[in-house]
């Protein structure tokens, strides 16, 4: 049995409960090695996915056209501002990890009535000695409104 075409697909999950599937079908020509064709197709799909999800990346005209062809319903990928190749990125010298981990750029809003507020308060009740740690950890990931902040402060004092 001889392989004449290969179908390669990738599925990526950019956000929770969201999936993006890209695929391509390739007709093999005489002399093509299946494993190499699959690796090349996978690399091309990954590059297309990156271009679609982050159009601000610098791409040449052929890459922009290919990304736009791959998903015509998506916003068109940005054309490069300068056709010159991007400068090579140099990795800085690795230093010992003495700094604390950076907090996420965006925190989720937390409003009064959200069940997560009650979960945070329950954690404080469960371990009163760690109430301050629980509150600090919650503030790392959530942006509470004024009412929720008052509830959390009061819960920390009471327990």
Domain boundaries, the chain: 5-70, 108-158
At 30 the pLDDT is: 85
- The per-residue pLDDT for 58 is 45
Q: How confident is the model at residue 63 (pLDDT cuts 50, 70, 90)?
A: low
Residues 12-45: tens digit of each pLDDT: 888 888 888 989 998 888 888 888 889 998 999 8
Q: Is the dihedral of CA 49, 52, 54, 58 positive or negative?
A: positive
Measured CA to CA, the distance from residue 23 to residue 15 in angstroms comes to 19
DSSP class of residue 130 equals G
- The pLDDT assigned to 76 comes to 47
Residue 60: the pLDDT is 56
Tokens of 86: 């991007």
HSE (CB half, 13 Å, CA atoms) of 79?
A: 4
Q: Which residues contact 157 (CB under 8 A, 6 or more apart)?
A: none
Q: What is the tens place of the pLDDT at every residue in 84-142?
A: 455 555 555 555 555 555 654 588 888 888 899 999 999 989 988 888 899 898 889 89
How much is the pLDDT for 3?
A: 77
Structure confidence at residue 79 as a pLDDT band (50, 70, 90): very low
d(CA 112, CA 148): 5
pTM: 0.36
Contact assessment for residue 59 and residue 66, using Cβ atoms and an 8 Å cutoff: no
Q: How many C-beta atoms surround the C-beta of residue 146 within 10 A? A: 8
pLDDT at 83: 47
Say if residues 108 and 120 touch (Cβ distance below 8 Å): no
Looking at residue 89, what is its pLDDT? 53
């Amino acid at each position: 049995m001889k392989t004449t075409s290969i179908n390669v697909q990738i599925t990526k999950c950019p956000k929770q409960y969201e999936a993006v599937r890209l695929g391509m079908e390739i007709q093999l020509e005489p002399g093509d090695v299946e494993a190499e064709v699959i690796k090349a197709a996978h690399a091309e799909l990954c590059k297309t996915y990156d271009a679609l999800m982050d159009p601000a990346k610098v791409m040449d005209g052929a890459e922009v056209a290919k990304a736009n062809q791959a998903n015509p319903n998506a916003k068109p990928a940005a054309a490069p501002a300068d056709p010159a190749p991007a400068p090579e990125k140099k990795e800085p010298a690795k230093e010992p990890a003495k700094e604390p981990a950076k907090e996420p750029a965006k925190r989720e809003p937390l409003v009064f009535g959200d069940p997560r507020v009650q979960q945070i308060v329950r954690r404080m009740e469960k371990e009163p000695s760690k109430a301050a740690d629980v509150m600090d950890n919650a503030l790392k990931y959530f942006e509470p409104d004024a009412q929720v902040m008052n509830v959390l402060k009061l819960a920390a004092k009471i327990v």
